[in-house]
Amino acid sequence: MSAKEFNFDGLVGPTHNYAGLSLGNVASQSNQGNISNPRNAAKQGLRKMLALHELGLAQAVLPPQERPSINFLKQCGFSGTDSQIIQKAATEAGDLFQAACSASAMWTANAATVSPSADTLDGKVHFTPANLISKLHRSIEDETTTRILESVFTAADKFTIHPPLPHHQSMGDEGAANHTRFCTGYGTTGLEFFVYGQHYFNKNVPRPQRYPARQTLEASQAIIRAHQLKPDSSLLARQNPEVIDQGVFHNDVIAVGNMNVLFYHQRAFADEQQVKKRIIDFFKDARFYFIRVTDDQVSIDDAVKSYLFNSQIVSLSGNARKDRSMALVLPGECEANQAVWRYLQALKAADNPIDTLIVKDLRESMANGGGPACLRLRVVLNDEESAAINTSVILNKNLFRCLDQWVDKHYRDRLDIHSLADPQLLVESRAALDELTVILNLGSIYPFQR
């Protein structure tokens, strides 16, 4: 059956801010305390979605979460009216309060790991919402993420939404940011590529020294089991711990794949040859493109600053084009970086499927370490499955216009971390989200609606 890849982008939430919450994420740390512009952030994201829709690709949208999370603050012992809870938490426990305010659910590459039905033994699409336990502000996302996925992928005979993995360090799971799928066509059985940062139990295997390795081998293995991946349909590889220590906190900051292409830096994996061998074995006679970027071409520092590897590779074939060409959707920071831009011109001219470069301004998200690929969750669906989802989340011109106006109506254009304690911000956010659940036909997914 024919199948296509949908990009489900996260809509940036009204509390988008720079609190510097992510140790190991260079942009998040270096922009701590800066003033954000939630309205521009949401609009930049929406414009990226529109660009992909206009290329003829399947584009959908996932909603933000309720922030500040009153539920989380109550779990932390605060009580009283919502406004009292906010005031007390902000003055007595600033760190907890900032965690409760983050709009980090916008990076839907971290929402879940998804296995298309062509790869699974029971022929269903499997989702595991990521527990994100490595960072407090992200560990509070998974409950609502689960509900959101259930409100979009409603057909239980086609979609299995698993519970998140147990909330323990051994099961640290960051979702699709460390997961890529190779295939000859979206509808045929693929090779799912899981990259992890550390063996939790085996302390003899090298691990990063400076920054945390967020994804564990044990978590990736649990997902492979839960998703019932066909034998030989998965490949596990360890990330190079040295690059984690240089700011590569997810594999999607140093490698990205699509169909028969792996675009990666030479220092991405602990054992590059093992990765290549397994992919070559899987593809047999079919052509595979390893696009390997060397230190001489682009340094790790430039890769982390520009987010070259956090570009989206999208297939234009069967959509915008007849041939098998692919486009790279890049953040503006790649154009601004001389070495990276020079490399990209050479890449475009070389013998590989990537022949189109699309540059998008995502500055607000980038300043928190979230590039084009962080903002989207890829979901491959065949025709019957795509007919069975909640179609109100699929982006078209009308939905774009409606969401753009919704942002204008509800979002602030300036937010510093002190104004997060303004109780009015919660009131504004809830009004926005309440309206959004109607636009996207999601039902009562938020704690304040239940």
Find the part of the chain contacting ligand SUG (CB under 6 A) among 201-209, 218-226, 364-372, 394-402.
Answer: 364-372
Identify the burial level of 29 via C-beta atoms within 10 angstroms of its C-beta, where 0-12 means exposed, 13-18 middle and 19 or more buried: middle
Sign of the Cα pseudo-torsion (162, 149, 120, 376, in order): negative
d(CA 400, CA 434): 18
Rounded Cα–Cα distance for residues 71 and 449 (Å) = 12
List 20, 116, 197, 353, residue binding ligand SUG (CB under 6 A): 20
Residue selected from 67, 126, 181, 250 as contacting ligand SUG according to rule CB under 6 A: 250
Regarding 59 and contact with ligand SUG (CB under 6 A), the answer is no
Smallest gap, in angstroms, from Cβ of residue 265 to ligand SUG? 15
The CB-of-405 to ligand SUG minimum distance in angstroms stands at: 27
Instruction: Between 18 and 200, name the residue whose CB sits nearer to ligand SUG.
Output: 18
Single out the residue of 104, 180, 239, 246 in contact with ligand SUG (rule: CB under 6 A): 104
CA distances from 123 to 2, 113, 226, 232, 313 (A): 14, 16, 13, 16, 26
Cβ at position 62, least distance to ligand SUG in Å: 14
CA distance 113 to 117: 13
Catalytic residue numbers? 174, 250, 374
Would you count residue 14 as binding ligand SUG (CB under 6 A)? no
Please count the residues of this chain forming the interface with ligand SUG, following the rule CB under 6 A: 22
Is 22 a binding residue for ligand SUG by CB under 6 A? The answer is: yes
Closest by CA position to 132, among listed 185, 229, 65, 192: 65
Tokens of 162: 């698993």
Structure tokens given for 75: 């779990």
Nearer residue to ligand SUG within complex by CB, 298 or 373? 373
299 CB contacts (<8 Å, ≥6 apart)?
339
d(CA 129, CA 167): 12
| Among the listed residues 361, 307, 346, 352, the one whose alpha carbon sits nearest the alpha carbon of residue 327 | 352
The CA distance from 267 to 269, in Å, is 6
- 415 is an interface residue for ligand SUG by CB under 6 A: no
Residue 369 near ligand SUG by CB under 6 A: yes
> Of residues 108-127, which lie at the interface with ligand SUG (CB under 6 A)?
109-110
Identity of the residue, 367 or 388, whose beta carbon is nearer to ligand SUG in the bound complex: 367
Binding of ligand SUG by 370 (CB under 6 A):
yes
For residue 21, state whether it binds ligand SUG (rule: CB under 6 A): yes
> Under 8 Å CB-to-CB from 242, ≥6 apart: which residues?
208, 267
Instruction: Name the residue nearer to ligand SUG (CB basis): 108 or 386.
Output: 108
Q: Is-contact 178 220, C-beta < 8 A?
A: yes
378 contacts ligand SUG (rule: CB under 6 A): no
d(CA 162, CA 130): 10
Residue nearer to ligand SUG on the CB measure, 3 or 248:
248
Contact call for residue 28 and ligand SUG (CB under 6 A): yes
- Residues forming a β-bridge with 126: 115, 160
Q: Choose, by CB under 6 A, the member of 40, 59, 65, 102 that binds ligand SUG.
A: 102
Binding-site member from 48, 67, 138, 158 for ligand SUG (CB under 6 A):
138
List binders of ligand SUG among 170-189 (CB under 6 A): 177
Query: What are the start-end ranges of the E strands in 18-164?
Result: 58-62, 112-115, 125-129, 159-161
Interface pick for ligand SUG out of 18, 159, 193, 194 (rule CB under 6 A): 18
**For the chain, what is the largest distance between any 2 Cα atoms, rounded to a whole number of angstroms?**
66
In the bound state with ligand SUG, the residue whose beta carbon lies nearer, of 135 and 147, is: 135
- In the bound complex, what is the minimum distance in angstroms from residue 374's beta carbon to ligand SUG? 3
Q: Is the CB of 63 or the CB of 369 nearer to ligand SUG?
A: 369
User: Does the protein bind ligand SUG through residue 368 (CB under 6 A)?
Assistant: yes
Alpha-carbon torsion angle 48, 375, 364, 44, nearest 10: 20
The CB-of-33 to ligand SUG minimum distance in angstroms stands at: 10
> Contact residues for ligand SUG (CB under 6 A)?
18-22, 25, 28, 102, 104, 107, 109-110, 135, 138, 177, 250, 252-253, 368-370, 374
